[in-house]
Structure 1
Amino acid sequence: MGVLDAIRQVLGLGAEADATREADPEDLFGMSTAYLTMEADLGFAPTGDAALCFADVDSTAFRRAREEVEAVLDLGEAETGTTADFVEDAHGYHWVVLHDREFEDLVTSVHFASDTLVEEGFGSRLLAALFAFQRDGRTAYWVYSFRRGSYYPFVPTGGRERDQRTEFKLESVLDGELSVEDDTAYWYPLWPEGDAHPWG
């Protein structure tokens, strides 16, 4: 199985059949308090970056929905200063990449973007939302899987290695504050390209 097929299976079609609960963009607001715990209890500070990953659809209706997301985020930038970039990764997945030093504004913007796609009838195209944190030069992510309706931690260490000890520590501290995926088979690694974020 290739990397692209694995992503589809874990975050996409396979996970949809195995979903433990219905995903809800409101779950994203759990990060509004979890980031405080990440910093106070674990020493991981927000990097000011978050992202929303989705699968594109070659249709006029989806292009309109994407334009609506862009319009919503443009309005948000005027209010909060959150900037947004739209990028495509090496696997053909699309990302809305958000930047803001105010973490709660990031959470709100990711919610607005995902909720807009849901309201436009494209919630099934949503794959994951990522929130980035850093400690001592190491980046850790909380990943929200829309197909599983749950979060999981991901801590890449370079190459195709991950720091599972830190991931389990994050789970033990944040479980209960976030709806953490209890089946680690679904803690899918979203490998970054080099030292970049998973979205490139």
Structure 2
Amino acid sequence: MGFFDALMGKSKQVNANLDSIFALSSAAITLQVSANLVPTNQAAVVFKPASGAAFANTESEFQDVLKEMNDVKVSVTTDSFRYRWVVIDGQDLETVVTASHAVNRSLEDHGFSPQLLCSLYPFTDTTDHSMVYWIYLYKRGTFYPFVPTGNERRDNERELSLKAVVGTDLPIETDMQRWFPLWEIPIHS
């Protein structure tokens, strides 16, 4: 970044530490013991598709990589906001974390990181069977909990308590204004 960029208020985009996604596997132990949350062995990568052959080739490439993973099932949907969801079902949390990392990495490596919105990882509460989602903000390299309660409502108190439960096991998003809700989640347990 040059002097004039700094004067004009422009900042250099910092690439997220994509490997921080792998912290979720170890945090899952804390979540199970301290919050009764077990992973559903699913994940989703959410991005805004771009037009053009380069993006289509990138999508085809990561879908081919996912097909090579024998213990992964993949489906792709588009929501009403035209975001694409690559939904991954696997045998265990480590598998879906690895598969979601591959999708994120492929988009990043081909220059489509601005298209990435987030990745999410659902967990089930063993006490009441409610869903809790851990959302990874690609551009920030951080996670936050999302606890929907139905009718486009969320349980903010529970989200804050889950933040406290994981402590330093996960890089948590400190700016709570970035803890945005996702209402049309195409993952069903």
Q: TM-score, normalization: structure 2?
A: 0.87
Helix, strand or coil at the partner of 2:119: strand
Residue among 108, 114, 127 paired with 2:117: 127
Contact 1:156 1:162 in 2 (8 A): yes
Per the TM alignment, residue 198 of structure 1 is displaced from its structure 2 partner at its CA by: 5.1
Q: Which residue of 1 aligns with 2:82?
A: 92
- Unpaired runs of 5+ residues, structure 1, are 1-16
| Shift in CA distance, 19/94, structure 1 to aligned 2, threshold 3 Å | farther
Residue among 30, 35, 51 paired with 1:37: 30
- What is the root-mean-square deviation of aligned Cα atoms in Å? 2.0
- Unpaired runs of 5+ residues, structure 2, are 1-9
Per the TM alignment, residue 18 of structure 1 is displaced from its structure 2 partner at its CA by: 9.2
Please show how residues 148-167 of structure 1 align to structure 2 within 5 Å.
148-167=140-159
Per the TM alignment, residue 175 of structure 1 is displaced from its structure 2 partner at its CA by: 3.0
Report the number of matched residues. Answer: 177
Contact 1:129 1:144 in 2 (8 A): yes
Helix, strand or coil at the partner of 1:177: coil
Per the TM alignment, residue 149 of structure 1 is displaced from its structure 2 partner at its CA by: 2.0
Per the TM alignment, residue 104 of structure 1 is displaced from its structure 2 partner at its CA by: 0.6
| Shift in CA distance, 98/19, structure 1 to aligned 2, threshold 3 Å | farther
Residue among 134, 138, 149 paired with 1:146: 138
Helix, strand or coil at the partner of 1:84: strand
**Is it true that 1:105 corresponds to 2:98 in the alignment?**
no
CA distance in 1, matches of 2:41, 2:115: 25
Per the TM alignment, residue 35 of structure 1 is displaced from its structure 2 partner at its CA by: 1.2
Per the TM alignment, residue 22 of structure 1 is displaced from its structure 2 partner at its CA by: 3.5
Runs of 4+ displaced beyond 6 Å: 17-20
Per the TM alignment, residue 48 of structure 1 is displaced from its structure 2 partner at its CA by: 2.0
Aligned AA for 2:119?
A
Q: Which residue of 2 aligns with 1:56?
A: 49
**Is it true that 1:114 corresponds to 2:104 in the alignment?**
yes
CA distance in 2, matches of 1:51, 1:27: 16
Q: Which residue of 1 aligns with 2:171?
A: 179
Per the TM alignment, residue 147 of structure 1 is displaced from its structure 2 partner at its CA by: 2.1
Q: Work out which of the two has the higher radius of gyration on C-alpha atoms and give 1 or 2.
A: 2
Per the TM alignment, residue 19 of structure 1 is displaced from its structure 2 partner at its CA by: 9.9
CA distance in 1, matches of 2:14, 2:134: 18
Q: TM-score, normalization: structure 1?
A: 0.83
